[in-house]
Amino acid sequence: MGKRVLAMKSVICVDVVPQSYDIAIAPGGLDDLGVWMSRLKLGKKVLVVSNPAIFRRYGESAIAGLKLVGYDVSSCTLPPGERYKTLNSLQKIYDAALKHPLERSSTMVALGGGVIGDMTGFAAATWLRGINVVQVPTSLLAMVDASIGGKTGVNHPQGKNLIGAFHQPRFVLIDPQVLKTLPPREFRAGMAEVIKYGIIWDAELFAKLEEAKRLDQMRYVNEELLSLILSCSCQAKADVVSQDEKEAGLRAILNYGHTIGHAVESLTGYKVFNHGEAVAIGMVAAGEIAVKLQMWQSDEAKRQNALIEKTGLPTKLPGGLDIDAILDTLQTDKKVKEGKVRFVLPTKIGVVTITDQVPSDVIRHVLQQMQP
């Protein structure tokens, strides 16, 4: 574990067994993808997986860089969006792997957001019983969360990420310059996870975010703050994953805001809110629950909610959402253990605890207060 800052670049190590790996945060680094990867001594064959829009923008330079250092590269693109995160899309990656053909020493490169990262990771986990994957995230959400930690998978019609595997990448390359083309709403979605790290792990990051005048669009975030956002968030995720790779305990704190968030996301058919927006609502709810249980000071909860609002993320439930339906949906969450809903609750900014002792009347009361 630990962070080495190299001029403009920062390299963070994720310390997992049997093979630790680096996350490099390198402005303009996408052009040097081949150079970064050549340090890993991987086989010569590489399959770049992307979606058509991302591939049009960045595919050519990534592939040119890979070829320059001698890789034999092919590519495949998949339709964009969560609804294509299916076994069907996976087949396209396997077909491309067969055509190239990829060998045990070969590498899949995921060039895209969380959907591409999760699918490529899962394809790599299962192709020839496991080959290398390198994550090159292009959305803020994927940079600070999905690309790190080895959770991979696809959706089943009955639920998100029900089919999956842990498969750690060999390397993660984050080029902040690609964020310049990220739509503002997606930037805010990533910021929800960044705020999460401030609450669960890094009070200094939280304070820096509070100091910023505006956070609702990337163009108001200066280079220094963006670099801090990326390095602190990746460090937080790396620290947690290094201590608990398979979510035996600590890693569950990364689910802060996700309990109610997932219920809201699924009850609104994944159409009203994106993942970050739902997590923002979930963080407000979890914070208010912690206050109600006298675990967290209300002025700190107000600071959290003010930061979420400043980022342009929602803090209220959408109109017409039935509270009983939310309570029912909580029971089907992946985080339910022996019938009890587990919540990650803050005790102070930077520190959280996990509990399954939240009375349902407390959840109901908080949700009622959050109605528009």
Catalytic residues: 129, 151, 193, 237, 247, 251, 255, 258, 262, 275
What are the residues facing 353 on neighbouring strands? 345
Instruction: Single out the residue of 137, 149, 176, 198 in contact with ligand GLY (rule: CB under 6 A).
Output: 149
239-278 mask for ligand GLY (x: CB under 6 A)? ------------x--x------------------------
How far out from the chain centre does Cα 347 lie?
Answer: 23
> DSSP string of 225-275?
HHHHHHHHHHHHHHHHHHH-TT-SSGGGGGGTTHHHHHHHHHHTTTTSS-H
Total residues interacting with ligand GLY, rule: CB under 6 A? 5
Two structure tokens written together for 98: 């067969």
Q: Report d(CA 122, CA 118) in Å as an integer.
A: 6
Confirm or reject binding of residue 196 to ligand GLY (CB under 6 A).
Answer: no
Of 111 and 236, nearer to ligand GLY (C-beta) is 236
**Count of alpha carbons within 13 Å of 91, Cβ hemisphere only?**
4
Q: Which residues of 280-294 are buried (b: 16+ CB within 10 A; e: fewer)?
A: bbbbbbbbbbbbbee
113-132 mask for ligand GLY (x: CB under 6 A)? --------------------
Instruction: Single out the residue of 118, 145, 175, 277 in contact with ligand GLY (rule: CB under 6 A).
Output: 145
Applying CB under 6 A, the span of 16-24, 39-47, 132-140, 143-151 interacting with ligand GLY comes to 143-151
Of 231 and 255, nearer to ligand GLY (C-beta) is 255
Nearest residue to ligand GLY, by Cβ distance, number only = 254
**Residue 148 beta carbon to ligand GLY: minimum distance, rounded to whole angstroms:** 7
**Residue 143 beta carbon to ligand GLY: minimum distance, rounded to whole angstroms:** 13
Confirm or reject binding of residue 300 to ligand GLY (CB under 6 A).
Answer: no
**Residue 35 beta carbon to ligand GLY: minimum distance, rounded to whole angstroms:** 28
Cβ-contact 142, 151 below 8 angstroms: no
Residues in contact with 69: Cβ distance below 8 Å, sequence separation at least 6, in sequence order: 34, 35, 37, 38
β strands within the chain, DSSP E:
3-6, 9-14, 21-25, 45-50, 72-77, 107-112, 132-137, 151-156, 159-166, 171-174, 343-348, 351-355
**Residue 240 beta carbon to ligand GLY: minimum distance, rounded to whole angstroms:** 8
One-letter amino acid of 25: I
What are the residues facing 152 on neighbouring strands? 165
276-295 mask for ligand GLY (x: CB under 6 A)? --------------------
**Residue 253 beta carbon to ligand GLY: minimum distance, rounded to whole angstroms:** 9
Applying CB under 6 A, the span of 144-152, 288-296, 334-342, 352-360 interacting with ligand GLY comes to 144-152
**Residue 115 beta carbon to ligand GLY: minimum distance, rounded to whole angstroms:** 14
What are the residues facing 151 on neighbouring strands? 166
Confirm or reject binding of residue 78 to ligand GLY (CB under 6 A).
Answer: no
What are the residues facing 172 on neighbouring strands? 23, 135
Applying CB under 6 A, the span of 50-58, 145-153, 160-168, 209-217 interacting with ligand GLY comes to 145-153
Of 170 and 251, nearer to ligand GLY (C-beta) is 251
Q: In what order do the strands lie in the sheet with 132-137?
A: 3-6, 9-14, 21-25, 171-174, 132-137, 107-112, 45-50, 72-77
Confirm or reject binding of residue 85 to ligand GLY (CB under 6 A).
Answer: no
**Residue 169 beta carbon to ligand GLY: minimum distance, rounded to whole angstroms:** 12
Q: Report d(CA 283, CA 308) in Å as an integer.
A: 9
Confirm or reject binding of residue 151 to ligand GLY (CB under 6 A).
Answer: yes
Of 195 and 254, nearer to ligand GLY (C-beta) is 254
Q: How many Cβ atoms are within 10 Å of 51's Cβ, its own excluded?
A: 20
Q: Report d(CA 199, CA 154) in Å as an integer.
A: 29
Residues at the interface with ligand GLY (CB under 6 A): 145, 149, 151, 251, 254
